[in-house]
Amino acid sequence: MFFDPMYLLFLLPALILAGWAQIKVQTTYSKYSRVRAQSGLTGAQAAREILDDQGLHDVAVQEVPGSLTDHYDPRTRTLSLSSDVYNSRSVAALGIAAHEAGHAVQHAKRYAPLALRSALVPAASLGSNLAWGLFILGMFLQMAAMVYVAIACFALAVLFSLVTLPVEFNASRRALAMLKESGVIYTYEVPQAKAVLNAAALTYVAAALMAIMQLLYFLFRSGLLGRRSDD
């Protein structure tokens, strides 16, 4: 199957949002990474303090290489912070560290969307990897069953992207509340940390929109959405 201009047309809104979100993240993070938090805590110290306040003394905080590679692993109960966040005393670093701590709290409190997202990881990863190959082969061989399997596989990836949204939004809300409650940042610094987390959230919205538009393209080309094209 050769390049289809319709594919670009379907993805254009998502591509525009993704580009804008990336710029927003870079500019906002750059701005507030230069603003030192009044508490003087590093990202690692802030994460540790928040986790301890929540009774999560067994959750480890470690430094990992890379930029914005921060994440929480529920399998090992480990909160990993990139070097820029781990060692920084900026408002941006504290906001990101608190966000990851928010995921640890979600895990401890058995937050349902997080459990669902974790359960979807293997299927979503496999589905996204198989979908395109099956779809192209199915369309080439005119095997409707294979095309439908491809769509079902990719739908799992879309579901994963959609479930990710409430997980990330909730982690940010928890982060801002915990930052204030623990005294890690001062009240006037909260809007600054919120700006960083809101910018990061845009990337997840863009990813979800990208997945949805790709699924709609599959449905369109398979004839399940609108009329089947003659080309």
Catalytic residues: 100
Q: Are 48 and 196 in contact (CB under 8 A)?
A: no
Task: With residue 22 as reference, give the H or E element that holds it.
Answer: helix 5-32
Backbone angles phi, psi at 178, to 5 degrees: -70, -35
Cα three-residue angle 130-132-135, rounded to 5 degrees: 100
Task: Find out whether 178 and 50 touch, Cβ atoms under 8 Å.
Answer: yes
Classify each residue of 12-35 as buried b or exposed e, where b means 16 or more C-beta atoms within 10 Å of its C-beta. Answer: eebeebbeebeebbeebbebbbeb
Write down how long the chain is: 231
User: What three-state secondary structure class fits 54?
Assistant: coil
**Residue 29 phi, psi dihedral angles, 5° rounding:** -65, -45
